[in-house]
Amino acid sequence: MSLLATASLWIIPCLILVVLAIATAKRLPTYELFVDGGKEGISLAISILPFLLGMLVSISILRASGALDALIGLITPVLSILGMPADIVPLALVRPISGTAALGMTTELIATHGPDSFIGRLASVLQGSTDTTFYVLTVYFGAVGIRKMGDALKVGLLADVIGIMASIIVVTIIFGA
Amino acid sequence: MVNYIWAIMAIGGIIYAMFTGTMDQVNKAIFKSADDAVVLAISLISVMVFWLGITKIAEAAGLLHALVRLAKPFISRLFPDIPKDHPAMGYILSNLTANFFGLGNAATPMGIKAMEEMKKLSNSPKASRSMITFLAVNTSSLTLIPTTVLAVRMKYESNSPTEIVSATLLASILSFIGAILIDRLFYEIRRRKERRA
């Protein structure tokens, strides 16, 4: 296993070790602090529930009806004319909306094209370098009761567009098409 | 805008189902996804309690403060509306750091704490300038270790699961910079509008 793969296993335990070692050296009541800080996690998670549920239900209606696939089918030829690999278009369109759907698509692309193919690499980079904007906005704004999101959604989605373009360009340059 | 998007996704889906005969799937999906949301929220409890607990210790030990001091020149320029020693800075940085190392589940609780602190600053139900900047940089997610992707690549027996790390980092740096520029652009547009009004 390579260094980074090992690092990703070691990082959380080591982080906990460092925090606890320093806090203990400073004679802080670590266990009491942990319990005290963790307490509000329960209410926070529950307070997000309605926001999450509303968003997931609406997205699932769009997906289950087949409307999302139809929409993707309409947009794919347009985007592939612009130079985007057709296989990757559905993933790029779904990535900001649904994290689970995007991960499913990435896994499928890697499984069918192989992890070391152009599409496999591109799917990996795209999945890794972007986030589910809808989820982040729903959860973060929901948790603190922000009703007017202002430009946040527009800015987030435009940033996703840049992330997708950057992924395609970077993968093409580093690995070749 | 969110209200429209939310309603249109559902309305569009239901109307589409009327004409394509997928009402059965839609019907099932409504309650299946509601169930999924509850499971997701419940599973968030464990993550939230754990990481908020650890963060509390890190905060008391002065580790968040040290992190802020390290990144001060960069972070205070990115968030000019947040006072330099405000706790929001510590949470924002822990969130970005957690994302950077691929600790997605640690990032969420810290991000929410950051939002709470920013809400205390703005004290309004509207998204503040710092919140929009924070969400922009957060969703463009600067990433060194894309944990989930590495796992998928290993599962499908890649010759080199980690070969995409540098490409992911580079792509996310570009989208990070892009996000900051777009955020600034929209901020300037807002300011012009307000001045005219």
Following DSSP, what letter does each residue of A13-42 receive, concatenated?
HHHHHHHHHHHHHTT--HHHHHHHHHHHHH
Considering only residues 22 to 51 of chain A, which have any Cβ-Cβ distance to chain B shorter than 8 Å? 22-23, 26, 28, 30, 33-42, 44-46, 48-49
B126: β partners: A148
Average pLDDT score, chain A: 89
Q: How confident is the model at residue B169 (pLDDT cuts 50, 70, 90)?
A: very high
CA angle B145, B74, A128 (to 5 degrees): 20
State the maximum Cα–Cα separation within chain B, in Å, rounded to a whole number: 61
Q: Which residue has the tokens 């929220």?
A: B41
> What is the 8-class DSSP label of residue B110?
H
Partner-chain contact A44 B109, CB within 8 Å:
yes
For residue A4, what pLDDT is reported?
A: 66
What tokens does B11 get?
């309305």
Closest CA to A132 of B42, B108, B116: B108
pLDDT > 70: percent of chain A:
96
For residue B143, what pLDDT is reported?
A: 85
What tokens does B20 get?
């394509």
Average pLDDT over residues A108-123: 93
CB neighbours (10 Å) of residue B196?
6
For residue A5, what pLDDT is reported?
A: 67
Of B41, B139, B186, the CB nearest to A52: B41
Cα separation of A97 and B105, whole Å? 18
What tokens does B189 get?
């547009």
Predicted confidence (pLDDT) per residue in A6-32, tens digit:
776 788 889 899 999 999 999 999 999
Contacts of B40 in chain A (CB under 8 A): 52, 56
Partner-chain contact A163 B182, CB within 8 Å:
no
Average pLDDT over residues A28-52: 91
3-state secondary structure (DSSP) of residue B83: coil
Considering only residues 74 to 93 of chain A, which have any Cβ-Cβ distance to chain B shorter than 8 Å? none
What ipTM was estimated for this complex?
Answer: 0.85
Contacts of A142 in chain B (CB under 8 A): none
Mutate to test the interface with B, among A27, A36, A44 (most CBs of B within 10 A): A44
Q: How confident is the model at residue A2 (pLDDT cuts 50, 70, 90)?
A: low
For residue B88, what pLDDT is reported?
A: 92
Say if residue A1's pLDDT is above 60: no
> The whole model's pTM is what?
0.86
Partner-chain contact A111 B6, CB within 8 Å:
no
pLDDT > 90: percent of chain B:
54
Partner-chain contact B50 A38, CB within 8 Å:
yes
Average pLDDT score, chain B: 90
A160 close contact with B: CB closer than 8 A = yes
Say if residue B112's pLDDT is above 80: yes
Say if residue B194's pLDDT is above 60: yes
- A65 within 8 A of B30, measured Cβ to Cβ: no
Which is more confident, B153 or A4?
B153
Cα separation of B74 and A111, whole Å? 40
Average pLDDT over residues B69-89: 89
For residue A60, what pLDDT is reported?
A: 92
- Return the CA Rg of chain A: 20
Domain boundaries, chain A: 1-48, 66-175
Predicted confidence (pLDDT) per residue in A123-161, tens digit:
999 998 888 898 899 899 988 888 888 889 999 999 999
3-state secondary structure (DSSP) of residue B127: coil
Contacts of A148 in chain B (CB under 8 A): 125-127
Could you tell me the CA-to-CA distances from B119 to A137, B59, B62 in Å, in that order?
15, 19, 23
Say if residue B120's pLDDT is above 80: yes
- A70 within 8 A of B16, measured Cβ to Cβ: yes
- B46 within 8 A of A2, measured Cβ to Cβ: no
Closest CA to A116 of B168, B166, B156, B170: B156
Say if residue A105's pLDDT is above 60: yes
Q: Which residue of B has its CA nearest to A124?
A: B149
Going B188 to B111 to B146 to A16, the CA torsion angle's sign is: positive
Going along chain A, which residue ranges are E strands? Answer: none
Cα separation of B42 and B48, whole Å? 10
